[in-house]
Chains A and B, each alone.
Chain A
């Protein structure tokens, strides 16, 4: 490496902080200021399972090219946490930059010769200016944002505007923060020049919005017509139920009476949460719960009941590192098999696989139509990376002519007119029977719901043939599901190729970037993003049309690959796993490294290979 890095609109800044120090809002403001200059960013929280005191990081990728995956590597470290100093310093790329609080002198041995060091005496500045300890702590964050703005060429007026919006109506706070901002900026202008890393105003953001997946999914549930939410707090899903609550308060309060057009219950556990969802679904209300892997484990008996008794339910599973308590504040896509086949006996459940907050909204709403249409549990599989980080995504859209699809519900008038009703009776050839809402008619349409086997008219039966007919119909219903869930999205290589790749969810931006990098190396790969389970025929056709297909996912056991092999009877030798599961979001660098090694001409191997410990 020769000299300091010189990069414009394409670098990574990482903030190393102490949890609970108030850094989060300052860091988020930094990211948003870059966005406001028209330059896309991808920002991620890397945080411990802790409220105060442990190390936490915030990584901002400034990406003029719009690569929203995690890049890997750090060009500038804002090292605000002495606990992690050595590790943080080691992460900086050769030629990179270190920003630190220079109040207390450090020996030369604590630095690296191949990086540029920028010291700002933040603590000293705060101690001089502020007397209240909490102010000293909070304004330190604003001061470093001002200093970074000066170093990286971020327009100060943009940050002043953000402060004005954040503290709207609190003029005193705006004034104090602007002052702190300028303290940092002025110090840098007097003592340091601008760095080689620069943000330059561009037009790369468009009308996109910047939002967390959990918030988007909670909003999706509002638009999907959900009226009952029963949940139990669990990281990383909690903010989904909380977002739903806030949106309901705002959009679902009856303007005349001030009363709620929704009911939200914080249940005593996940079993009660899904029990309430099933009870509400049985009674004709759209209901959901938000949880993570451990919660899904607890819910499995009810999920089987929902499958067999055919009751609509929606579960948002914001996946985290498992198994057991695992890594509750780290991301994985490791609940696929657990969700797809949740419960005892022969069961399977549709899953929607959103790629970003935009799809969290879209699928969040769609899930309720699908649950009513298919009369079963629909999983929406987020992960911590999408759920708890703000992503740049397409603006939310809604077609006002769209009607909620309540599925096959026989009405009072249809019953009155003498239409035949059998709760589990196949009538349309799609495996979906009609249901009635309790209380619909004085003497027609009532039935007894049970988890035990019964005949098409809901009467108890343990006859083998009756049971088999029923579970075969459930398979036909699952085939119907494959036709109505969101289909896969293809992205073909520029040149014809016999190599393909399948991926889903939060892997998407890193995958797209990796495809560009591979293409630049002359490696052409057709790509398919699956958006739901069960898989449509297009997925199996895609595999059939290629000699080998990589399956890229964020878990140890190649769970998507297992589902494809199992459900499509696909030759496992054709599907090559690329697996990332250290709890950090997958990167393009990782995918390229893994795939390029295998693309070198080596024959695909059916054996599971060892994945080297992922970098960083």
Chain B
């Protein structure tokens, strides 16, 4: 909770980034989540990604819904404006905020209850509108704050801590995002920071609706045998399709991997996504192939992770609406009010 502010003392060995900020400058308040919670690892990954991208923290707006995951924006980017909205409705609030000022970076953090149950509709519509955002679902398959009920991403046949077997089909948010036209779709695991940090960096650099489903075990209510969202289960069934390096426009690209095993994708902002293929034939720019591959591996009981799809030429909602370059919240009165002369002319047509 915010009343527990972290001490501002910096260790002298902390290395500043291009903006002169250290990693500590991207932190927030002390987390109040359970020790070992996967969500805290995701917060740490967000901090690391923003630090490495040299983002000015105050140019990020972080928004969330309600739930354990939605509490986390308090625990990173303390210098950013944050908004803990209402349950399942972060996507609409983020959409409105984005319309008001297209220049900020929008980071939406949500959970599986927040996005797959109560907010499934809003998740879907924000994705299909192409809102320029990074949308992270911290997916643990369970309601933590209310103590252990199944969520809509719980796999059919998985067992709750109390031994109840889930009889409903699971919603796979990654498949849904692909189907609805998200232009950046990834899945990762809170326990794999090496994979997660570059994915967040790539998503933040992406112009369009970027979605990352992050399996994030709940140590309290969903980390037992019989769960398909436990640390052990995910480690055993993780099938990573690629390893990603995000190369910012100003850095030289150098590739360590053997020739023919990497794919390079240049995004709108000039950043290069250098993807090391782990699965020989996986092409992350082919949406239909991605959907098909996901369905096949899922049937085989695997959890596919990595950058699953990216459209480097993506457009966002502002382009669709053809809004002016100046953020709408900065337009001056004279750009907004047509004035009395216009009214006089209009009145004349209404008689």
Contacts and interface: CB of A to CB of B under 8 A. Distances in A.
A313 to B, nearest CB: 10
Interface in A235-290: 251-252, 254, 257-265, 267-269, 271-285, 287
B96 A277 contact: yes
B268 interface: no
A32 to B, nearest CB: 9
B252 to A, nearest CB: 29
A302 B94 CA distance: 14
B134 to A, nearest CB: 16
Contact of B351 (A210, A281, A452): A210
Interface string B66-88: 00000001100011111111100
B2 A439 contact: no
A288 to B, nearest CB: 11
A167 interface: no
Contact of B86 (A210, A223, A301): A301
A580 to B, nearest CB: 29
B280 interface: no
A36 B342 CA distance: 23
A225 B58 contact: no
Interface stretch (B170-178, B305-313, B328-336): B328-336
Nearest to A215: B350
A451 B58 contact: no
Contacts of B56: 442
B1 A460 contact: yes
A261 B79 contact: no
Size class of the A contact interface (CB-based, 8 Å):
35 or more
A449 B79 contact: no
A459 B338 contact: no
Given A227-B336, A283-B329, A443 B96 contact: no
Contact of A260 (B96, B321, B338): B321
Interface stretch (B121-129, B156-164, B204-212): B121-129
Given A223-B337, A228-B96, A285 B79 contact: no
A223 B97 CA distance: 21
Interface in B77-123: 78-86, 89, 91-101, 103-104, 121-122
A279 B99 CA distance: 9
Contacts of A404: 333, 336-337
Looking at B57, B81, B129, the one whose CB has the most chain A CB atoms below 10 A away is B81
A254 B323 CA distance: 9
Contacts of B83: 279, 282, 448-450
B103 to A, nearest CB: 7
Contacts of A211: 350
Contacts of A449: 81-84
Given A209-B351, A259-B323, A438 B99 contact: no
Given A275-B85, A443-B79, A446-B80, A265 B329 contact: no
A442 B99 CA distance: 22
25 contacts: A208-B351, A209-B350, A219-B346, A258-B322, A268-B121, A268-B122, A268-B125, A275-B93, A275-B122, A276-B95, A278-B96, A279-B83, A282-B97, A283-B104, A287-B99, A301-B86, A395-B350, A396-B346, A400-B339, A437-B329, A438-B101, A442-B58, A443-B79, A446-B80, A450-B83
Interface of A: 35-36, 205, 207-211, 219, 222-223, 225, 227-228, 230, 251-252, 254, 257-265, 267-269, 271-285, 287, 301-302, 305, 395-400, 403-404, 436-443, 446-452, 454, 458-461
Which 6 residue pairs spanning A and B have beta carbons closest together? A279-B96, A275-B92, A285-B100, A276-B96, A438-B81, A279-B93
